[in-house]
């Protein structure tokens, strides 16, 4: 089988390592020619996960047409803000029936579309689309450290195909028909992770972080439910599992961004320092707008947005959260509500 991996960052490198280790031929599209050259000549990505050795079955090209040629499945692993442009580049070279799975986690600014909706909007074929999400730090997946994930698709046979494609001894794959919940969970948990990082940067403790994570999960579930997601999805790998990993891990860009900002840094400064995209910075805008558009309370997301883009002091944002009026813990989560 031949699979095209569209994107050559850390996650694209880890996925290429995983799939090629199963005997699958992988063709990587790398925006940067030096990455493609490095993969082809040294079997390593010269910029991301540089210690990972890729199998001979992995080839790379800066030409997306070449990367897609002969692909029987496509894995999109670009940052969320680049998914539309990437899909537009893919469209002329993508077979009408080739299944596509998205690994980017975000909600598109302006349109407020989930990533599979963005891809469908460009290339069509909703029935062939899927999303993968879970507690999957690329640094660990690429070392064969036991991990698990969820594949959500609009059609069961597509979900099963991608489940089989990704399943490996160190990478367990579950399926879930709730595409909305899996995608929104992946996007919204990044914002909560930024809040958790701010808590670290302010020197707060375990109680604070546990509170942020738990109440963050509540607002994630509340938003998802009102947009058609199954609330139980948020108890699984794409919800709670991903939230735990992203809020606590040393690998988490979003947690690190929050800490960086709480210690006096800026969003732009973090990008310049790390040359990485922290998806939570973008999702703080789009998820906040999405919740506002349907009248759903997301107080943690609101405060993260206010700190990142409105100049609010992180400690003051924390005080505002603590000073909110008393509520029932399950407020807004009554499944009997319309």
Q: The domain that contains 203 carries what CATH number?
A: 1.10.1040.10
Q: Let me know if residue 333 belongs to a domain.
A: no
Dist CA 145 CA 7 (whole Å): 22
Q: Both 49 and 191 in a single domain?
A: no
Last residue of a domain, one of 177, 199, 224: 177
Overall number of domains in the chain: 2
Last residue of a domain, one of 177, 205, 222: 177
pLDDT reported for residue 334: 60
Q: Both 240 and 192 in a single domain?
A: yes
Q: Let me know if residue 99 belongs to a domain.
A: yes
Look up residue 113 and give its two tokens: 């579309």
Range of the domain at 279: 180-322
Element (H, E) at 212: helix 206-226
Q: Is 189 a known active-site residue?
A: yes
Q: Both 18 and 152 in a single domain?
A: yes
CA nearest to 6, candidates 25, 27, 33 = 27
| Mean pLDDT of the 172-182 span | 98
Q: Which of 22, 105, 143, 189 is catalytic?
A: 189
Last residue of a domain, one of 155, 177, 199: 177
Q: Mind listing the pLDDT tens digit for each residue in 20-32? A: 999 999 999 999 9
Q: The domain that contains 149 carries what CATH number?
A: 3.40.50.720
Q: Let me know if residue 87 belongs to a domain.
A: yes
Q: Mind listing the pLDDT tens digit for each residue in 192-250? A: 999 999 999 999 999 999 999 999 999 999 999 999 999 999 999 999 999 999 999 98
Q: Both 131 and 249 in a single domain?
A: no
Average of per-residue pLDDT values in the chain:
95
Q: Both 39 and 173 in a single domain?
A: yes
């Amino acid at each position: 089988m031949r699979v095209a991996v569209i994107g050559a960052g850390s996650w694209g490198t880890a996925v290429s390592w995983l799939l090629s280790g199963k005997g699958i031929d992988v063709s990587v599209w790398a925006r940067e020619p030096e990455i493609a050259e490095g993969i082809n000549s040294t079997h390593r990505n010269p910029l991301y996960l540089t210690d990972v050795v890729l199998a001979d079955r992995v080839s790379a090209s800066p030409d997306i047409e070449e990367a897609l040629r002969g692909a029987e499945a496509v894995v999109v692993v670009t940052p969320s803000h680049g998914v539309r442009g990437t899909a537009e580049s893919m469209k002329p070279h993508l077979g009408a029936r080739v299944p596509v799975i998205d690994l980017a986690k975000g909600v598109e600014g302006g349109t407020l579309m989930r990533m599979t909706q963005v891809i469908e909007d460009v290339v069509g074929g909703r029935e062939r689309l899927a999303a993968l999400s879970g507690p999957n730090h690329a640094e660990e997946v690429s070392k064969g450290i036991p991990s698990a994930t969820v594949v959500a698709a609009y059609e069961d046979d597509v979900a099963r195909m991608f489940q089989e494609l990704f399943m490996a001894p160190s990478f367990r794959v579950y399926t879930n028909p709730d595409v909305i919940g899996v995608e929104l969970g992946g996007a919204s948990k990044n914002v909560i992770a930024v809040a958790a990082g701010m808590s670290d940067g302010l020197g707060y403790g375990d109680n604070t972080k546990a509170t942020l994570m738990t109440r963050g999960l509540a607002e994630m579930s509340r938003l998802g439910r009102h947009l058609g997601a199954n609330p139980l999805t948020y108890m699984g790998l794409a919800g709670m599992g991903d939230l735990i990993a992203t809020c606590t891990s040393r690998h988490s860009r979003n947690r690190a961004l929050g800490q960086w900002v709480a210690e006096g840094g800026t969003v732009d400064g973090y990008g310049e320092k790390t040359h990485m995209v922290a998806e939570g910075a973008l999702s703080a805008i789009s998820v906040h707008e999405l919740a506002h558009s349907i009248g759903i309370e997301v107080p943690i997301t609101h405060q993260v947005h206010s700190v990142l883009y409105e100049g609010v002091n992180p400690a003051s944002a924390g005080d505002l959260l603590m000073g909110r009026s008393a509520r029932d813990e399950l407020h807004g989560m009554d499944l009997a509500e319309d």
